[in-house]
Structure 1
Amino acid sequence: MANFSASTSPTIYQDPQIWQSLKVAIASSSGFQRWQLEHVLDEQRQDITLDHRVRRYLRETLETLAY
């Protein structure tokens, strides 16, 4: 198994093509769709971008898994 340090490994946000592909795949997943339905009341504003929603979904999912 490869051992990567946080300071030397590139983040997915540094490569726009990779991030775009991942964002589209995540947004089409059933987990994201369900999460989005549960957060409709939280996100009344229509100006929240897909990028912001996917990042929030990932953050909340990882926080839940870490708990």
Structure 2
Amino acid sequence: MNSTTASSSERATESPIWPNLRRAIAHSSGFQRWQREHQLNRAANAASLDEQVRSYLRETLATLAY
């Protein structure tokens, strides 16, 4: 990951919108199905949930782009 991407990613998580967006995604049926398929912990701590949501979004966008 290059420094530009890392700093953009850091800025996104500092945004006041990110916690609400992460919460909404985490409660979506698509995300919950993705967690079951990946056998991930649904009672994850905030840092783990943050990474799970990021992975889910990455995979979803890659699928849509394909």
In the alignment, the residues of structure 1 paired with residue 62 and residue 19 of structure 2 have an alpha-carbon distance, to the nearest angstrom, of 23
The unaligned stretches of length 5 or more in structure 1 are: 1-9
Q: Which consecutive aligned stretches of 4+ in structure 1 deviate over 4 angstroms post-superposition?
A: none
Name the SS of the counterpart of 2:22 in structure 1.
Answer: helix
In the alignment, the residues of structure 2 paired with residue 22 and residue 58 of structure 1 have an alpha-carbon distance, to the nearest angstrom, of 11
Per-residue deviation at 1:52?
0.2
* Cα RMSD for the two superposed structures: 2.6
Name the SS of the counterpart of 1:19 in structure 2.
Answer: helix
Percent of pairs with identical residues:
56
Alignment of 1:16-35 (within 5 A): 17-35=16-34
Higher helix share: 2
Between structure 1 and structure 2, the one with the greater Rg is 1
- The letter of the residue matching 1:59 is R
Aligned length: 54
